Amino acid sequence: AEIREACLLEVRGVEDAPDEPSPAGTPDGDTPLDDRLEGIKATQELDYVITPYKPNYLMVGYNPNPNNAPFQEAFPDENIDFKAAEVKFQISFMFPVAHNIFGNDGSLYVAYTNRSFWQLFNDELSSPFRETNHEPEVWLQFSRKTKVLGLTCRLAAFGFNHQSNGRNEPISRSWNRLFARFIFEKGSFAFSVKPWIIVGSRDGNPDIRDFMGNIEVRGAYKFNRHTISMMLRNNLQSGFSNGTFEVDWSFPIYRRVRGYAQYFNGYGESLIDYNVHTNALGVGLAFTDYF
């Protein structure tokens, strides 16, 4: 642990930094977003280390009304009956391609996120993966410290995102987006605004914009070692009829082991459910969260 800490301090360039009074934020003077950005900087300089992107977690989820319809349509001779309880997990990581593209700013990143829904407890169907969504993306990111309505805009990013479930018709789902992302902070609170434009084919889901909209807002707050986050999507566009919100709680259990609880209400928890209302609760373990 001491060697690891010494290496991280050297990478961050603060090994010989003088002690200064800590402003509001975390005890060492950094905000949670500062800590996350420093962690990204430290890991991306080390060989054979994967930098987390979105939260990485494993949980048991409960959805009282699983969506059987697309599978029953695809396999009319089969009796498709999904269980309400299933295992949900997400694996997400990022990789820097280039830094300082425009003078001393501008970094190019690529990332991949896998979100899977596994019917582990469904022996009748041989415990299949009900849905797996693959989400590669690439973006150009700029550092900022711009004051906006009492908040500080720390990052601005512009990129391309593809998401699909890797299935054949009639249960194929995919879409492509050009997006922008702006991340703001104030003390222990941070939030992002992510608008997008849908481009190209919408295989299997031509009306996905009606349910997934074209903007997502997510806020996260850290206190002690707890992180609470909330996501809102598509509420205004649909007049709140197709709105989606998600609440996540990451909390300490023992040392580096963290618990994770998630409540999802709305559309688009997975691509196969983009136009079906889902009301799901999950509890499990988190390996990384937003901070």
Catalogue the active-site residues. 162, 164
What ranges make up the beta strands (E) of 149-225?
A: 151-164, 174-186, 189-199, 215-223
Q: At what angle are helices 2-12 and 32-44 packed, to 10 degrees?
A: 90
Buried b (16+ CB within 10 A) or exposed e, 173-183: bbbbbebebbb
Cα 155–158–163 angle (5° rounding)?
Answer: 115
Structure tokens at 182: 């702006």
The DSSP secondary structure of 49-115, one letter per residue, reads -PEE-S-EEEEEEE-SS---HHHHHH-TTS-----SEEEEEEEEEEEEEES-SBTTB-EEEEEEEEE
Residues facing 202 on adjacent strands: none
If one counts every other C-beta atom within 10 angstroms of the C-beta of residue 205, the result is 21
Q: Is the dihedral of CA 26, 31, 35, 38 positive or negative?
A: negative
